[in-house]
């Protein structure tokens, strides 16, 4: 029988049991042997215990009755078990058992080997970004509880246990409110929660049962873990509550000047006095933190890139660099390397050799899109009904003309400055706000970009362009689910459905859901059979799904529209390589080198196709051209891959391969792929010691990667 089925009988105790005493040699509660006391409170104690048969370690929360205990108190205690037991989430404590005795009740839960959040920060030395990740996980947990009609109502550091691996567990649903039940277990106006973390609406008028109250409390926890103090303090609980209800929050960066302004904005939004002004949901709260964390990680990545001689294989969040790593070294199957950029482009983007050039390409694409919007007299430069007088209207027109010029010149900073001046004159100009969103997107200030979109949607929740722009920003962040969510809403209100379907398809490509990518590309092409981007997206999806013949047909269609598009030629050439049609692949790669003779990747790809055709000398010569153009670590790595395609490989070839890999590693000592391929090369020539050393380098550089797993497997074979 489920132990939670009888919780409604909370006022009917079963039998009397003696509580464990401190001086007992062996202390038990039911079938649980008490190991230690891990917490005490006004209503009882919490024990660490072990089940006598299963040896499972558990925690037991005991509520001891006294003369003042009412049935209401008992019901509230057992309601915690009922509420928590119905929630199934990896970050919510699990309930194993619940019992009511004559003189006390107890709840048995999983034992979390962790510490309260505030203590864990010091004990585990949790860095700032990990603290924010913990808050993000708790926000996701609250989103789950809110969707299940449960408001926690007592979010505080003590109720968030954090393990040494930084995994949080939300606990203590003792005063949670189940919105789907009509039972009243609190008195009218009764204060529930902890003063330092309680929301203003609860502090001033008691229980409001709002999800926004949990968001406020989590915001207060965020405030504490980034500043070291709570948002409001006071000598007494009453003073704290008064300050919560009436005082203004000091920005976190005032206390800790090292905190970024963006983090201030997220935290202060959660702590808004009016519930409707906070994040719309716990998910939105967590989403903004996630965007901030990605932006910070991106900034760190870019700073690290500047300190390296060559870029790593992976690009930033806007750029997806898919590189063929030869898993089976003797295979002639080729997956072409390509760079695909998110952004509003009219056609597939040409190959760029490094992420910095690609970033500029996307910024240009965003600016081009914004310039076109600014030139649209029906939207940007129309006679705005919101102009309050002719003088301000004339000023706005003048500024919009200036904005258009700055965007044409790709002056992002200047364009933002002008658009903000327009905003100061008319802060409800949706088109201008969305231009600001786009401009901030182009400079990777994603949080600000999303905030501008939200401003528009707060005024008009059916604004198609705002959903579209916010979706594009999520796309740039690789937040593909959120992008798809916004773009599907956009479909309901836009007349640009083909464009939106294609962007949804690209998002599914990001999720590697190729079936849905093909499906949504088909939707786009049904609406517009001449849409080049949709053919490109569908071709890529078909290729990824290994439907090569259909993919080539779509690349052919695309190239009829744009016969000199380098990206499409590279993709089609790569597809020909996969089906071993090497002469056709060679034709495409030769054309690329003629169209852009300064792009090393054209020569790299051509070298591979020539090598696959058995034209070894030509392949080697072409590959050296790529290295002469740019002797980077990546190109030396590609050269070694190309040589590996030769059949058969002799000792001289192996030395050439090692020379290229040595060069790659010398240029970039953090290049894990190069160590991996060099280890495999050493293994082939029976230099086991050198192979082990390089495989160990892979384990140190990328310990949790699939490459590391393969390295471990191959090291076993060396024994």
List the domain boundaries for the chain.
28-110, 114-301, 649-718
pLDDT at 110 (0 to 100): 92
Give the CATH superfamily of 28-110.
Answer: Phosphorylase Kinase; domain 1 (3.30.200.20)
CB 548 within 8 A of CB 335: no
| DSSP H or E segment with residue 115 | strand 114-116
What number of helices (H) and strands (E) belong to the chain? 29, 13
Counting every residue written for the chain, the total comes to 719
The sign of the dihedral angle between the CA atoms of 468, 474, 475, 476 is positive
Q: What class does CATH assign to 114-301?
A: mainly alpha
3-state SS, one letter per residue, for 69-107: CCHHHHHHHHHHHHHHHCCCCCCECCEEEEEECCCEEEE
pLDDT at 193 (0 to 100): 58
Residue ranges in the chain modelled with pLDDT below 70: 1-26, 41-43, 70, 174-193, 204-209, 297-391
pLDDT at 174 (0 to 100): 55
- Which own/partner pairs from 10-16 qualify as long-range (CB within 8 Å, at least 24 positions apart)? 10/71, 10/74, 10/75, 10/78, 10/100, 10/105, 11/71, 11/74, 11/75, 12/100, 13/100, 13/101, 13/102, 13/103, 14/99, 14/100, 14/101, 14/102, 15/101, 15/102, 16/101, 16/102, 16/103
Residue 61 annotated as binding site: yes
pLDDT at 550 (0 to 100): 95
Which residues make beta-bridge pairs with 62? 106
pLDDT at 375 (0 to 100): 45
pLDDT at 536 (0 to 100): 94
**Residue of 678, 705, 703 whose CA lies nearest to 692:** 678
Q: How far is CA 463 from CA 373, 429, 448, 494, 526, in A?
A: 15, 12, 18, 8, 25
pLDDT at 650 (0 to 100): 82
Domain 649-718 CATH assignment equals 1.25.40.10: yes
Contacts of 291 (CB under 8 A, 6+ apart): 446, 447, 450, 477, 479
pLDDT at 100 (0 to 100): 82
> For the whole model, what pTM was predicted?
0.56
The sign of the dihedral angle between the CA atoms of 657, 658, 659, 661 is positive
């Amino acid at each position: 029988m489920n132990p939670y089925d009888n919780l409604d009988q909370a006022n009917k105790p079963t039998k009397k049991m003696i509580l464990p005493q401190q001086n007992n040699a062996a202390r038990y509660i039911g079938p649980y042997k008490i190991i230690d006391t891990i917490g005490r409170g006004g209503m009882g104690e919490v024990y660490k215990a072990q089940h006598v048969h299963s040896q499972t370690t558990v925690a037991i929360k005991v509520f001891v009755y006294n003369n003042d205990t009412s049935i209401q108190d008992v019901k509230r205690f057992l309601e915690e078990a009922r509420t928590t037991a119905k929630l199934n989430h990896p970050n919510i404590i699990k309930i194993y058992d619940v019992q009511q005795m004559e003189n006390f009740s107890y709840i048995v839960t999983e034992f979390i080997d962790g510490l309260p959040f505030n203590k864990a920060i010091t004990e585990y030395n949790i860095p700032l970004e990990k603290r924010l990740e913990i808050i993000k996980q708790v926000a996701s947990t609250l989103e789950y509880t809110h969707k299940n009609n449960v408001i926690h109502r007592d979010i505080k550091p003590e109720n968030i246990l954090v393990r040494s691996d930084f995994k949080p567990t939300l606990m203590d649903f003792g005063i949670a409110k189940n919105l789907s039940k009509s039972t009243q277990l609190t008195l009218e106006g009764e204060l529930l929660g902890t003063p330092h973390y309680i929301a203003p609406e609860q502090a001033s008028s008691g229980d409001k049962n709002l999800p926004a109250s949990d968001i406020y409390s989590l915001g207060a926890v965020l405030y504490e873990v980034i500043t070291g103090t709570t948002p409001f303090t006071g000598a007494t609980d009453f003073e704290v509550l008064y300050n919560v209800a009436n005082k203004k929050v000091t920005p976190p960066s005032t206390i800790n000047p090292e905190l970024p302004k963006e983090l201030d904005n997220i935290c202060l939004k959660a702590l808004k006095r009016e519930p409707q002004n906070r994040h719309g949901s716990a998910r939105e709260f967590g989403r903004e933190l996630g965007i901030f964390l990605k932006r910070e990680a991106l900034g760190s990545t870019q700073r690290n890139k500047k300190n390296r001689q060559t870029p790593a294989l992976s690009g930033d969040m806007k750029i997806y660099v898919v590189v063929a790593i030869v898993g089976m070294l003797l295979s002639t199957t080729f997956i072409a390397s390509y760079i695909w950029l998110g952004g509003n482009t009219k056609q597939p983007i040409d190959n760029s050799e490094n992420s910095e050039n690609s970033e500029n390409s996307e910024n240009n694409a965003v600016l081009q899109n914004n310039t076109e919007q600014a030139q649209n007299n029906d939207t940007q430069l129309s006679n705005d009904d919101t102009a309050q007088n002719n003088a301000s209207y004339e000023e706005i027109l003048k500024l919009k003309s200036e904005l258009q010029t700055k965007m044409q010149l790709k002056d992002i900073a200047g364009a933002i400055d002008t658009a903000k001046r327009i905003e100061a004159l008319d802060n409800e100009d949706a088109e201008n706000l969305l231009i600001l969103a786009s401009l901030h997107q182009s400079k990777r200030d994603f949080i600000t970009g999303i905030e501008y979109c939200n401003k528009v949607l707060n005024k008009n929740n059916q604004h198609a362009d705002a959903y579209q722009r916010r979706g594009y920003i999520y796309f740039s962040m690789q937040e593909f689910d959120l992008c798809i969510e916004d773009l599907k809403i956009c479909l309901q209100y836009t007349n640009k459905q083909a464009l939106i379907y294609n962007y949804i398809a690209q998002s599914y490509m990001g999720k590697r859901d190729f079936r849905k990518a093909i499906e949504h590309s088909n939707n786009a092409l049904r609406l517009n059979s001449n849409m080049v981007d949709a053919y490109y997206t569908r071709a890529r999806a078909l290729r990824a799904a290994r439907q090569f013949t259909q993919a080539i047909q779509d690349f052919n269609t695309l190239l009829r529209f744009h016969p000199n598009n380098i990206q499409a030629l590279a993709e089609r050439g790569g597809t020909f390589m996969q089906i071993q049609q090497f002469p056709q692949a060679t034709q495409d790669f030769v054309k690329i080198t003629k169209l852009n003779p300064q792009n090393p990747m054209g020569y790299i790809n051509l070298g591979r196709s020539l090598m696959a055709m058995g034209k070894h000398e030509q392949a080697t010569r072409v590959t050296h051209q790529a290295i002469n153009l740019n002797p980077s670590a990546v190109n030396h790595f590609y050269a070694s891959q190309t040589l590996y395609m030769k059949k058969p490989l002799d000792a001289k070839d192996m030395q050439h391969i090692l020379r290229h890999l040595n060069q790659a590693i010398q240029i970039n000592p953090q290049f894990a792929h190069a160590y991996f391929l060099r280890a495999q090369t050493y293994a082939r020539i029976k230099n086991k010691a050198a192979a082990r050393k390089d495989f160990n380098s892979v384990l140190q550089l990328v310990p949790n990667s699939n490459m590391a797993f393969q390295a471990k497997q191959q090291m076993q074979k060396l024994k």
